[in-house]
Amino acid sequence: MDEDVDYNQINGIALAYLGDAVYETPIRRHLLALGITKPWRLQKKATDYVSAKAQAGLIALMKKDNFLKPDEISVFKRGRNAKSHTHAKHTSVLTYRISTGFEAVLGYLELSNQHQRVTNFCDWCIKQVDVGRVKYEK
């Protein structure tokens, strides 16, 4: 990455675009490690982790557990408040915006080369889903 880029100035939607991809790989690895191999089952199970509703539930837990650092909270808000030209599918606009903030944090962490924090973030999220702490309507 370019050392002169100020990651605090990048549009929240652009950060979320990258963050979506950053989060997808650890989730897919996790599902394969669980022994799930059928594509339809992988896709169905992945929604427990990557849906807008799941990500909004994870953000609620992060707030409760004080998981996010101050700079991450700022990036989350920038992503959540960004004007998007896409619409929410199967969820409310608010839930969709919260999930955009979630993904923006991951995009920010990736672009700012905070790879250990990305790993910790994803591992924490996977654990919360696996132990059933994430509450949302499917």
Task: Note whether residue 85 is domain-resident.
Answer: yes
User: Is residue 89 scored above 90 in pLDDT?
Assistant: no
Across 67-88, average pLDDT: 91
Instruction: Return the pLDDT at 2.
Output: 53
In the chain, % of residues over pLDDT 70: 94
Instruction: Return the pLDDT at 138.
Output: 56
Q: Which domain holds residue 36?
A: 12-130
Task: Note whether residue 135 is domain-resident.
Answer: no
List CB contacts of 87: < 8 A, sequence separation 6 or more: 93, 96
Task: Note whether residue 138 is domain-resident.
Answer: no
pLDDT higher for 21 or 83?
A: 21
How high is the mean pLDDT of the chain? Answer: 92
Q: What is the pLDDT of residues 116-128, one digit of tens each?
A: 999 999 999 999 9
Task: Note whether residue 43 is domain-resident.
Answer: yes
Task: Note whether residue 6 is domain-resident.
Answer: no
Task: Note whether residue 64 is domain-resident.
Answer: yes
Report d(CA 107, CA 86) in Å as an integer.
18
Q: What is the pLDDT of residues 18-36, one digit of tens each?
A: 999 999 999 999 999 999 9
Query: Which residues are designated catalytic?
Result: 20
Instruction: Return the pLDDT at 3.
Output: 60
CATH number of the structural domain spanning residue 18: 1.10.1520.10
Across 89-118, average pLDDT: 94
Total domain count for the chain? 1
Task: Note whether residue 4 is domain-resident.
Answer: no
Task: Note whether residue 36 is domain-resident.
Answer: yes
